[in-house]
Amino acid sequence: MTSEAKRRYDALPHPQVVVVGGGFAGLELIKRLEGAPYKVLLLDKHNHHCFQPLLYQVATASLSADSIAHPFRRTVAPMPNVAFRMARVLSVKPQEKRVVTDHGEFAYDILVLATGSTTNFFGNAQLEREAMQLKSIGQALDIRSDFLQDFEAALYAQDEAGQRRCLNFTIVGGGPTGVELAGALAEIRRTVLKREYRELDSDRMQIWLVDSNDRVLKNFSEQASAHALAYLQDMGVNVKFGARVTGYDGDVVTFQDGSTMDSNTLIWAAGVKGVTLPGLEAAEVPKANRYHVDRFNQLQGVPEVFALGDVALMAEGKWERGHPQVATAAIQQARLLADNLNRRAKGGAMRPFTYTDKGSMATIGRYKAVVDVGRLHWGGFVAWLLWMFVHLMALVGYRNRLQVLAAWAWKYLSWKNTIRLIIRPYIRRSAQQVVEVPQG
Ligand SMILES: Cc1cc2nc3c(=O)[nH]c(=O)nc-3n(C[C@H](O)[C@H](O)[C@H](O)COP(=O)(O)OP(=O)(O)OC[C@H]3O[C@@H](n4cnc5c(N)ncnc54)[C@H](O)[C@@H]3O)c2cc1C
């Protein structure tokens, strides 16, 4: 904003809407409030929106980080009634109608919480410290550096056992993230490791996908789960069902039954929990880490505070325990809230939310995917094309779409994952030294 644009923004006579979080929900909301009789302020701890469904491709060297991210400033630049501040919201003071951030406090008339979710380690501090996770671009880049460093380290291992230790990857959680990551790593073994690390026997790289259930993609149809399992096994992924991971010290995975397994890398994709903020505890659903909202996405008992997306729990129709924590639910809720705020501004009544389930999809390596839409199911190449089209269209910004299309075309025609520079080496938590800083 130029100083003139800022002066005009500050002078707007409209109610102040503060939106916390520019993920799928927050971004959709601010876009739809452009030109509305509201003064909108977007706060996010990052300066960019992240397209999380393609994070695993950044982690596995298929896409560059900037092709799935979009700077907020570019989005809000043409919107006179919308401003952005990079700030981490620390708490909310609902009585005073203010949010507290690491850069001071901001007042609101209407507050919208769209803070999303974070990895859920279910209280296991050791797993939280040692496991890798995939919720942000930084974490995706860590995974990428880690597996490339492991490949290089394997070349220095003294014996076969040492090489196997470097090349043993465990992914916990057989949901879409775990399945997609496992498939992509299996593809890397078949292409990068086999062709470019000729001194290594690629069979020494083992990928384990561990789940406490008895099937992968448990929220998909049984047909989709069966197809996904067959694709994974065909690609040489070891799938371990009925196994609950209880510990990981950086080298050894421990299971609930007491058994153990060596693994140099463990990626935790076994659950998420909502990102809630201090000050609004009364509106939280116990244990769920989500805000209990009504059909208008309003927090129960907290005036003029709304929650959207992963952090909102709305009991509606068959979704008694809340909607699935997916992008489509976040976007649909944001669209209706924008519509409702506009109706309210004109003195109209708000409309209640009803979720339209548009189906689920996951891809497993090259040319294979599973898609469920209602009772319809597709697998294989057709599903993969559908998966590519939907993800391409959902990306924010034409530049990103073109960049991803070009990267995929190159990758699928040349069989090469090219983005493999170790620029920011990943240092495992267990290997990090705690440096005592002398006082005074
Ligand atoms: C690896 C992965 C793959 C996925 N694949 C799919 C898929 O294929 N299809 C699908 O539909 N869904 C998928 N999802 C789920 C989907 O990404 C989420 O449901 C969706 O992002 C939720 O949107 P949201 O707006 O609620 O939160 P998010 O998109 O997570 O956005 C939250 C925003 O809030 C910001 N924020 C959080 N806390 C603070 C704070 N204290 N202060 C300031 N800013 C804050 C964050 O920086 C972020 O920008 C996937 C998720 C992951 C992690």
Nearest C-alpha neighbor of 259 from the set 180, 170, 186: 170
Q: Which CATH class is domain 125-270+359-422?
A: alpha beta
**pLDDT reported for residue 437:** 46
**pLDDT reported for residue 429:** 65
Distance 23 CA to ligand 1 centre (A): 5
**pLDDT reported for residue 435:** 45
Look up residue 2 and give its DSSP letter: -
Q: C-alpha angle 219/220/225, rounded to 5°?
A: 115
Q: In what order do the strands lie in the sheet with 360-363?
A: 360-363, 369-373, 376-379
Ligand 1 pocket member 340 (CB < 6 A): no
Say yes or no: do domains 3-45+87-119+273-345 and 125-270+359-422 share a fold: yes
Ligand 1 pocket member 21 (CB < 6 A): yes
Ligand 1 pocket member 330 (CB < 6 A): yes
Residues of the chain with pLDDT below 50 are: 434-440
Is-contact 19 41, C-beta < 8 A?
yes
Strand 360-363 versus strand 104-107 pairing type: unpaired
Is-contact 111 97, C-beta < 8 A?
yes
Q: Rounded to 5, what percent of the chain is helix, strand, coil?
A: 40, 25, 40
Q: How far is residue 37's CA from residue 348's CA, in Å, rounded to a whole number? A: 14
Ligand 1 pocket member 55 (CB < 6 A): yes
| CATH code given to domain 3-45+87-119+273-345 | 3.50.50.60
pLDDT (tens digit, 9 = 90+) per residue, 288-308? 899 999 999 999 899 999 999
Helix (H, G, I), strand (E, B) or coil at 144: helix
Ligand 1, atom 5: nearest CA belongs to which residue? 53
Nearest C-alpha neighbor of 403 from the set 69, 158, 5: 69
Q: Domain boundaries in the chain?
A: 3-45+87-119+273-345, 125-270+359-422
Ligand 1, atom 3: nearest CA belongs to which residue? 53
Q: In what order do the strands lie in the sheet with 265-268?
A: 238-241, 206-211, 168-172, 265-268
> What number of CA atoms fall less than 13 Å from residue 16's CA on the CB side?
17
**pLDDT reported for residue 440:** 45
Secondary element (H or E) of residue 257 = none
Nearest C-alpha neighbor of 305 from the set 283, 275, 287: 283
Q: How far is residue 120's CA from residue 271's CA, in Å, rounded to a whole number? A: 5
Ligand 1 pocket member 419 (CB < 6 A): no
Ligand 1 pocket member 174 (CB < 6 A): no
Q: What is the DSSP string of 9-43?
A: HHH--SPEEEEE--SHHHHHHHHHTTTSSSEEEEE
Ligand 1, atom 8: nearest CA belongs to which residue? 53
Q: How far is residue 240's CA from residue 257's CA, in Å, rounded to a whole number? A: 13
**pLDDT reported for residue 104:** 97
Q: Which ranges in 36-115 belong to alpha helices (H)? A: 55-59, 72-76
Q: How far is residue 335's CA from residue 258's CA, in Å, rounded to a whole number? A: 48
Catalytic positions: 180
**pLDDT reported for residue 1:** 66
Find all residues with CB under 8 Å of 326, minimum gap 6, and list them.
Answer: 360
Is-contact 38 14, C-beta < 8 A?
yes
- Choose the residue to mutate in 115, 219, 272, 323 for probing ligand 1, maximizing ligand atoms within 8 Å of C-beta: 115
Strand 369-373 versus strand 376-379 pairing type: antiparallel
Ligand 1, atom 15: nearest CA belongs to which residue? 326
